[in-house]
Amino acid sequence: MAASGGCKGESICSKHVAMLMTIIMSFGVISCCLGHGEGDHDDRLGVEGRSCIESERRALLAIRSDMYDSGERFSSWIGEDCCSWRGVACDNSTNHVIKLDLHYPYTRHSYTYRWDDEDDFCFTLEGMGASKVNPALRDLKHLKYLDLSMNNFSGTLMPHMITSLVHLEYLNLSKAMFGGLIPPQLGNLSNLHYLDLRGCGVDDLRADDLDWLSRIPSLKYIDMSFVNLSKATNWLHQVNSIPSLKVLRLKWANLPYVPSPLPPFNLTSIIKLDLSGYLNSNTTILRWLSHASSLVYLDLSHCNVVDIESLQVTLGALSNLKELDLQYNDMKGEIFRIIMNISRSLKHLDLSWNSLSGDVAQILGSLGPVEFLALDDNELNGRVPEIVENFPSSLRYLSLASNHIVGEIPQTMGNLTNLEYLDLSYNSIIGAIPTTFGDLINLKRLWLSENNISGQIPETISNLTNLEYLDLSNNNIIGGIPLAFGDLINLKGLRLQGNKISRQIPETIGNLANLEYLDLSYNNITGGIPTAFGNLINLESLLLLNNNISGQIPKTIGNLTNLKYLDLSNNNITRGIPIAFGDLIKLENLILSGNKISGQIPETIGNLTNLKYLALSFNNITGGIPMAFANLINLESLLLGENNISGQIQKTIGNLTNLEDLDLSYNNIIGGIPMNFGNLINLESLDLSQNKITGQIPETSGNLQNIKSIYLYDNFITGQIPETFNRLYNLKSLAVSYNHLTRLVPGTLYELCNLSWIDLSHNHFGGELTDLIDALPYCQQGASLDIFISGNNLSGIVPSSMGQLSTLRILDLSSNLLEGFGSFFEPSFW
């Protein structure tokens, strides 16, 4: 769940947009009309009765040349009448351009649940290029409205030329990636009613003082959220000097502490105030805000508001308050002390992520006509009451997640027919899902996860045709997935994992063409994967792991070209990997391990160039490692262990320079370890054990300076451990037992102080034991090192003391040619 910001319900959000539009309209912001009138004929071109100042048309074209264009943005900027271009408006008598709206359009994120009139995040679209403010902007001298928001100006300074546009009434530069100091010359724009300089939180936009605000007395809307105001010690006095101000937003602006005495309250027109993230808030500020009797919206989330008594006084005075956000304040105490003081006209209340206590039935029965109620992550207890007649029938959003609520969900909750969002997850709720939930026909999101809910999923859930997200995960639900789930045509996310769901997946799930996320893992599902899954063309994640699914993977899975995550592991899937998997070009994670898959790995897997994680372990796969794997340049984990893979390790594996984990163990691989394994500079774990690998360990292995574990045991490797191993400073585990190694050069491992476990047993190491010990790490402050060296040809006398012995534990010396054991070695070691 998002911490703050966003939209919790579309219809609620629409009301807030309407309210803000009313406020903005009341500011006197221009209404731009198109038309033509008298003027200089030589500098004006007419098209179909409309006119455009030619010098301004040229200026607009110059401005466009420096703006990022995705292809459609300026599609209407053709012809000679600039007044008809999208985002441009002219005065109906002078024909001068008075409005320029070049904001970059973006789509509201579909996973945002908190709502507000604006999102709390900057949505920089993937692939969005940089823009510049062309100097020709200053030629549009008659501009009253300028919007450059949501563009990417790459941290450049806010252009001073804007401060020369003295007729501006509306200026929106929000979330445009400007950086540096806000020019105080903005105070020249004395006609401004609306000023939005909201930052992104990732740039460095700042203002060291706000004295310039006093020169704009007609301001009605100010947003400087995410702007660094840490040096603006006068911030409260300056904004307080603008009695016309209706909206003030200073969210996460690093506001400095304001010492007492505070100025007399002067914001007599204030309707909306957002000080969220004001970590220097105090009791004095709370008392000061009690004079804001006109307030309709107040956001003090993340403000360290812990004094409930002062909060009670303030809330009791704000009789017009309709929206109150106090989430993330670490408030403790009885929640009823807050609720009893809030305005009875309150529509929106967010007290989530605090430590407030109280009985949930009492709380729900004492509220007025609230539409939005978020009480998640508190210390609430009790049961959801059987009788809900006293509940606010207007409720659209209800979140009681992460509390201590017990008992069953009453059937009467089905009476809350206006609900769009219901979250009861992470509680101790028992019993079945009420059949009356099918009456919540406006519901878009239903979260009941992490409870002790039992029984079957009622068929009536299929009535919720507006449902977009359904999460019943990690409960004790039994039975099958209802066939009627195919009617939930607007569903985008379905999470049923961690239950006791059985039977087959119904083919009707294939009707959910809008589905983006499907998780049915950790259940008792049987049968095959429906071929109708091929219809889920918007699916991005498919998780069916840890079930009893059988049969083969349907070829239709290859239709899911938006798929990024596919996990079918730990089932009973048979037959081969479909060639059509090569069409899943967006796939980043492919996990098929722990099945009964046979046949060869298709070469088409090499088409998956976005793949980061490939796990095919614990199957019956045969054949060789495909040459096409060389194309998987983004691969970080390649896990093919416990199969029947044969042939040699292809040299092209050395192309996978992002690889961190390589497991080819327990196969039938022959041949040598390629020299270009040394290119795998990000490798942390290498496991080639239990194969038929021959030849020597390549000297280039010394390039693997991020390696932590090397397992080469049970092969036919010859020669010696390369001296270049002395560069593997991160190595912790080394296992080369059951090979034909003959020598460990003194000093090879001497400085590898992270080594904690070495198995050299059952090789052909000869010579004096003391020479071998001299090759091992000796780190006076290092951790103890466990070593196995049985089954070799070591000779000599076992020493009773040696420098290394302070940290060295030889756990097995058996089957060597040694004489005499010093007091250091205990018989239990071997």
> For 580-612, how does the pLDDT look when each residue is reduced to its tens digit (9 = 90+)?
999 999 999 999 999 999 999 999 999 999 999
For residue 332, name the pLDDT band (cuts at 50, 70, 90): very high
Other beta carbons less than 10 A from residue 260's beta carbon: 8
Residue 781: predicted pLDDT: 56
Question: Half-sphere exposure (CA, 13 Å, Cβ side) for 211?
Answer: 5
Helices (H), 48-186: 54-65
Give the pLDDT of residue 306. Answer: 82
CA separation for the pair 303, 471 (Å, rounded): 31
Nearest alpha-carbon partner for 371 in 345, 340, 405, 351: 345
Condensed to tens digits (0 to 9), the pLDDT of residues 650-705 reads 888 999 999 999 999 999 999 999 999 999 999 999 999 999 999 999 999 999 99
Alpha-carbon distance of 533 to 539, in angstroms, equals: 9
Residue 112 — very low, low, confident or very high, per pLDDT cuts 50/70/90? Answer: very low
Cα separation, 514 vs 767, in Å, equals: 70
Question: Average pLDDT for residues 714-723, to the nearest whole number?
Answer: 95
What phi-psi label fits residue 540: left (phi over 0), alpha (psi between -120 and 50 degrees) or beta? alpha
Residue range 103-119: mean pLDDT, rounded: 51
Question: Is residue 12 scored above 50 in pLDDT?
Answer: no
Query: Omega of the bond prior to 261 within 30 degrees of 0, cis?
Result: yes
Q: What is the per-residue pLDDT across 757-806, written as a single tens digit (0 to 9) for each?
A: 999 999 999 888 877 777 787 765 556 788 899 898 888 877 665 544 45
Please tell me the least confidently modeled range out of 280-289, 414-423, 459-468, 510-519.
280-289
* DSSP-assigned letter for residue 543: E
* Pairing relationship of beta strands 50-53 and 44-47 according to DSSP bridges: antiparallel
> Between the CA of residue 711 and those of 374, 384, 738, what are the distances in Å?
52, 56, 11
pLDDT above 50: residue 520: yes
Share of the chain above pLDDT 90, in %: 73
* Confidence (pLDDT) at 522: 98
Q: Supply the mean pLDDT for the chain.
A: 88
- pLDDT confidence of residue 825: 46
Using CA atoms, how far residue 575 sits from 524, 597, 613, 619, 622, in Å, is 21, 5, 22, 10, 12
pLDDT tens digits for 147-182? 999 999 988 999 999 999 999 999 999 999 999 999
Residue 225 near residue 201, CB atoms below 8 Å: no
User: Is residue 110 predicted with pLDDT exceeding 80?
Assistant: no
Given this model, what pLDDT does residue 500 score? 98
> Model-level pTM?
0.85
